[in-house]
């Protein structure tokens, strides 16, 4: 019997928002399995630093600087990946943003930034990847959504709307592309302890409230999310599509 996830070796994997936080951990985990990982983001320095780490596991890994709110850049990015590796096997739509404000204070620009990053880019990255996956009759698309797709929370009206939309988008694309051999699924994390959330959790009252809602009593780590992503990318999940795996420590169980 082959080791679990060995089928991911030499697969071409795009991870958007792959230079920091959850995305970085997902990218590193794929690279350890010798997948050809392409990380995408806006911060050139962060991309470079993460790519240096990925090259410790696979020197074929690559980074592409792009603003995924710009559809032309989305298409150019996916086309570049396909040109270099000849295939697009896995797309992880991880890029996301939240602008934490009371709903009464959310501006049109705030709304557009959150929805364009979290939902619009997820659709158009998926659409462009599918132009390569459909002819090859195989592919995995994994959307990183949030527990906030299923529950409400303070100061996250736009964010909840974007992630709820991404869950429904996951189902819609799974329905359309199943006959083309493409599995479309999502992973819905709770709050994750990363370098990007450190400042947020300096607010002790906020941190205590969050931890009180997680049945396991602690914040998730990036590795808790990458395990679910690997499962959905691998042959272990061949008969899973249109699903969202909640990695929320039990938050939504009550």
CATH architecture of 6-249: 3-Layer(aba) Sandwich (3.40)
Cβ-in-10-Å burial (0-12, 13-18, 19+) of 103 comes to exposed
Sequence length of the chain is: 254
- Residue 227: name the closest of 245, 243, 215 by CA: 245
Specify which residues 15 forms β-bridges with: 39, 92
* Whole-number Cα distances in Å, 99 to 59, 68, 102, 208: 36, 17, 10, 21
Options 57, 132, 159, 231, the catalytic residue: 159
Backbone φ and ψ for 47, nearest 5 degrees, come out as -60, -45
Q: Which pLDDT score, from 0 to 100, does residue 193 have?
A: 87
Residue 159 annotated as catalytic: yes
Per-residue model confidence (pLDDT) at position 198: 85
- Per residue of the chain (254 residues), what is the pLDDT tens digit? 578 899 999 999 999 999 999 999 999 999 999 999 999 999 999 999 999 999 999 999 999 999 999 999 999 999 999 999 999 999 999 999 999 999 999 999 999 999 999 999 999 999 999 999 999 999 999 999 999 999 999 999 999 999 999 999 999 999 999 999 999 999 999 999 888 788 889 999 999 999 999 999 999 999 999 999 999 999 999 999 999 999 999 999 98
Quick one: tokens of 20? 């920091």
pLDDT at 1: 57
Task: Give the separation between CA 254 and CA 247, rounded to whole angstroms.
Answer: 14
Under 8 Å between Cβ of 77 and 70: no
pLDDT at 196: 73
Delimit the domains of the chain by residue range: 6-249
CA-closest candidate to residue 137, choices 196, 95, 179: 179
């Amino acid at each position: 019997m082959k080791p679990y996830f060995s089928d991911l070796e030499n697969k071409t994997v795009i991870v958007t928002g792959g230079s920091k936080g959850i995305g970085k951990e997902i990218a590193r985990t794929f690279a350890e399995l010798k997948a050809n990982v392409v990380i995408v983001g806006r911060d050139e320095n962060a991309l470079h630093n993460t790519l240096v780490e990925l090259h410790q596991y696979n020197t074929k890994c690559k980074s592409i600087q792009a603003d995924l709110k710009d559809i032309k850049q989305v298409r150019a990015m996916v086309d570049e990946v396909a040109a270099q590796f000849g295939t697009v096997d896995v797309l992880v739509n991880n890029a996301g943003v939240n602008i934490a404000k009371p709903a009464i204070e959310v501006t049109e620009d705030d709304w557009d930034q959150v929805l364009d990053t979290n939902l619009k880019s997820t659709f158009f990255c998926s659409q462009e990847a599918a132009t390569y996956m459909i002819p090859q009759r195989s592919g995995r698309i994994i959307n990183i959504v949030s527990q906030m797709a299923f529950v409400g929370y303070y100061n996250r009206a736009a964010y909840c709307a974007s992630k709820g939309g991404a869950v429904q988008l996951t189902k819609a694309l799974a329905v359309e592309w199943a006959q083309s051999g493409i599995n479309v699924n999502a992973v819905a994390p709770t709050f994750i302890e990363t370098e990007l959330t450190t400042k947020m959790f300096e607010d002790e009252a906020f941190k205590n409230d969050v931890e009180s809602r997680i049945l396991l009593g602690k914040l998730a780590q990036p590795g808790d999310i990458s395990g679910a992503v690997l499962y959905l990318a691998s042959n272990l999940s061949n008969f899973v599509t249109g699903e969202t795996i909640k990695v929320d420590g039990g938050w939504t169980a009550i």
